[in-house]
Amino acid sequence: MDISLVMNDVEKAKVAAQVDALNKSLAEGRQVKQELGKDDFLKLLVAQLTHQDPTQPLEDKEFIAQMAQFSTLEQMTNMSQEFSKLALRLQSSQAFSLLGKTVVIKNGDEEISGVVEEVRGREFPQLLVNGRYFDMNQIESVRME
């Protein structure tokens, strides 16, 4: 019994058509992004392992290198998420440190000067100055009095 490990032209065409159909179905309703995420990398790795040529298996070194790249990508993603959380906490902490200080706020063309009486919100803190709430990014200057 002979088993052929090489695809003929008809089989190659069938596989190419299946791949095109799958890619089109995956692309529907999906936004195009310019970079690969960890899910994309994992899908590529699984597809590579699933469709590898049995006569030429993936080298151990190549597989280990790809797994190391995946691990690095995952750790970088986790660090990015943690940095985002840290930035929000720092912004909140900065807002609370302004309590009782005099600030100058740019609101369109007008400049408003007053003491910060209250801070509201966690992720996007707002400051109460002269009976109105303003975003942190509207602050032009801060003074101690």
Q: What is the pLDDT of residues 33-58, one digit of tens each?
A: 666 666 777 787 777 777 776 776 66
SS3 44: helix
Instruction: Identify the pLDDT of residue 16.
Output: 83
Between these two residues, 67 and 18, which has the higher pLDDT value? 18
Instruction: Please compute the mean of the pLDDT values over residues 5-22 and round it to a whole number.
Output: 81
Per residue in 69-85, pLDDT (tens digit) is 878 888 888 899 899 88
Question: Which residues have C-beta within 8 Å of that of residue 67, sequence separation ≥ 6?
Answer: 45
Taking the C-alpha atoms of residue 15 and residue 6, their distance in angstroms, rounded to an integer, is 13
The pTM (predicted TM-score) of the whole model is: 0.46
The model's pLDDT over 119-131, given as tens digits with 9 standing for 90+, comes to: 988 778 889 999 9
Report whether pLDDT(63) > 90.
no
- Quick one: pLDDT at residue 116? 92
**Strand spans (E) along the chain:** 102-107, 110-120, 126-129, 132-135, 139-143
Asked if the model's pLDDT at residue 59 lies above 70, the reply is: no
Domains and CATH numbers, the chain: 62-145 (2.30.30)
pLDDT at residue number 64: 73
- Tokens representing 89 are 């906490």
